[in-house]
Amino acid sequence: MNKSVSELKVLVVDDLPLIVEELCEFLQSSGYHCVPCHSSTQAIEQFSADQEIALVVCDLHMPDYDGLELMRALKAIAGPQRLFEAIMLTGRANKQDVIKALREGFADYYQKPVDLSELLEGVQRQEAAVLERRRSYQHLGDLNQKLQFLADSIDDLYQDLDKARGLGAHRRATDVDPEVEPDNLPTLFNKLSPRQLDVARLVSKGKTNYQIACELGITENTVKLYVSQVLRLTHMHNRTQLALALSPSTSPLHQRVTAH
């Protein structure tokens, strides 16, 4: 009966070729595709080139870069999007080495000579952890897409409502900030929808989310979505920066913000 093969590849790193060979042979017989490396430099190259590597088993003490330095390099390559877990192997680690390794991001460690059955259990645990984190990230991504769709749909509904009330295709005349006429808006606001621009103007007046919700007849959560969209689309970091950008064009603060 054939064993199922894991969808995650294992990077096996040790400066002793016999250990790499033994570990790879054992893990491959247990259903893992292994990528053998005999140095940290080689491991960094392989990790960069192969996006399917999501598990790392590496020695702590190696001649070029030790396991801690390797871990830092792999995290820099992976960034926030690529998920992986690492297990450290060591023949002479003291308590401080172990603490440093765990703080650096290693999920587990094993003393050499390694009990292969224990190591397999550890690899399986980290495989499950990576897969669970992937599912969570996918779920969050789906939720964000649904929230974006909901916000866009709400925006369309309010535009249709304004039209039905005979208040124009864009926005109510009373919503226009007398200090900033539409023609004088900074160009970075051109990409905003009418409803997003309504929210931006009210934010620039110092209104709270609750006050904006009451004035526009929407919920506070919907206001939060709009504010988040406005900041993202205009590449601004906070409400204060947004308010300065919508201040009168003669204002020095307005000129400083819109110049970037």
Distance CA 231, CA 234 (A): 5
What is the pLDDT averaged over residues 111-139?
90
- Which of these, 26, 28, 27, 24, lies nearest to 36 by C-alpha position? 24
Residue 211 CB burial class (10 angstroms; 0-12, 13-18, ≥19): middle
CATH hierarchy code of domain 9-138? 3.40.50.2300
CATH 3.40.50.2300 segments of the chain: 9-138, 170-258
Average pLDDT in the chain: 81
Contact (CB, 8 A) for 244 and 175: no
Q: Which two tokens stand for residue 254?
A: 């307005």
Question: What pTM was estimated for this model as a whole?
Answer: 0.54
CA 149 vs CA 55, 124, 153, 241: distances in Å: 35, 38, 6, 26
Contact 13, 58 (CB under 8 A): yes
* pLDDT tens sequence across 69-107: 999 999 999 998 899 999 999 887 678 888 889 899 999
Report whether the peptide linkage leading into residue 186 is cis, meaning its omega lies within 30 degrees of zero: no
The tens digit of pLDDT for each residue in 170-218 reads 444 344 444 445 556 677 778 888 888 888 889 888 888 888 888 887 8
The arithmetic mean of pLDDT across residues 158-180, rounded, is 52
Q: Which helix (H) or strand (E) is 9 found in, with range? A: strand 9-13
Q: Which fold has domain 170-258?
A: Rossmann fold (3.40.50)
Instruction: Compute the Cα dihedral for 152, 153, 157, 158 and give only its sign.
Output: negative
CA end-to-end span of the chain: 64
Provide the edge-to-edge strand list for the sheet that holds 108-111: 33-37, 9-13, 53-59, 85-90, 108-111
Above 60 in pLDDT, residue 258? no
CB burial of residue 152 (10 Å; 0-12, 13-18, 19+): middle
